[in-house]
Chains A and B, each alone.
Chain A
């Protein structure tokens, strides 16, 4: 039993009670992923498992057996620099204290892939057609699972809007 985290393979814990979040933070010292509510209500612990954004606080580590996990530590660009979205967060004041930021970034990166795939959201007018363009309303709805206690949401939406605009459709 093993999981791959940011390209490196790790053994799984023997105790099935260990959450993926605790495995990352307490056992592997990958403390970029944050613990907020520990009950699914805030999104601070968001990581990407096999391409899908999930909450690491509600994932038992054993359930990630054989999966590939990407955390904020794995988002650096090939040249070791910041991911374009991290740069956009800086430019648009997408954070104050920074506590929710790793979860926001992981969530947004996976969200962009969902958008590109044409997945609908609750606010998508025509479900069959899928989302049209990249509206702020769509971004807000798709990012509603990540709360920011500092209220940096407008900057966060600006940063994601820039990333979406910059990407080839």
Chain B
């Protein structure tokens, strides 16, 4: 690991001013960044520890929740209001990593964690445009079981590995950001970028911008929601695909529906096309499958991950059937 300066910030303004003075990276639980620094994939000159910034979960005036960026993943998952009003978020967090890692990982760090593509990690032996722009992508034509079927480019087919973000995408969460130029709100769905020809630029955040929290709005679909993750072993493994969904049925018709997929793109993938087709219809398995067919028609697969299309379709349909209480 290269040497670096370490600073611990006690409030966001202090974090911003230290980060502004030295080109620095923020440090949450360190479960991703420390690992990448140890492997010399990342080598920041300074770290500003933001894991001790106020870590609270507050009620908001519109009946939603504001979750501080420094709140640990396990604390969010176990929070009574999250469990009852946003079960998809609780379950998604509990599906991720291990209890030890969830006790360390922060909300801000989880959002900005980097891909687990094996070629990205293999600095000594592999080409990766995300790690070293212009060097090539060994995942294309390589081992791509875990890679993207949506939104990839000829330069990169890596996926974003977060479970939490898939739930946040389904919930239309809004990320609060503070930077040298002031504060702004970024919808979670607009925060991560697709790779295009710059897979090394992963989000719309500018250098020095600090995530301060995530806001959730209340809804019936959020309260009636679920998360399901399919993986190569039943726990402590990244997703092959995962599904976050919420459903509100009024008088036998779908009044609100949210479907987001994980493990399929460089960002959490909202299945807007399928949602649009299902809104207003009465819930039935055949209709779910047809809507998913339409959504997945845009998928582009590789040798190792073609199975994801059928897997995604069946998993979403199963989750929606469960939420709707119809025969799977």
Contacts and interface: CB of A to CB of B under 8 A. Distances in A.
A120 B78 contact: yes
Interface centre among A17, A46, A63, A128, by most chain B C-beta atoms within 10 angstroms, is A63
A70 interface: no
Contacts of B234: 144
Contacts, number: 99
Interface string B101-131: 1011000000000000000000000000000
Interface in A42-61: 43, 46, 52-55, 58-60
B87 interface: yes
B94 A122 contact: yes
Interface string B71-96: 01010011010011001001100110
Contacts of A52: 72, 74, 103
Interface in B40-59: 47, 49, 51
A124 B99 CA distance: 14
Contact size range, B = 35 or more
A62 B46 CA distance: 14
The DSSP consensus for interface residues of chain A is loop
B34 to A, nearest CB: 5
Contacts of A128: 80, 83-84, 87
Q: Which 10 A-B pairs have the closest CB atoms?
A: A145-B98, A144-B235, A16-B6, A122-B94, A144-B236, A52-B103, A127-B83, A119-B78, A128-B84, A145-B100
Interface of B: 1, 3-6, 8, 27, 29-31, 34-35, 38-39, 47, 49, 51, 72, 74, 77-78, 80, 83-84, 87, 90-91, 94-95, 97-101, 103-104, 234-236
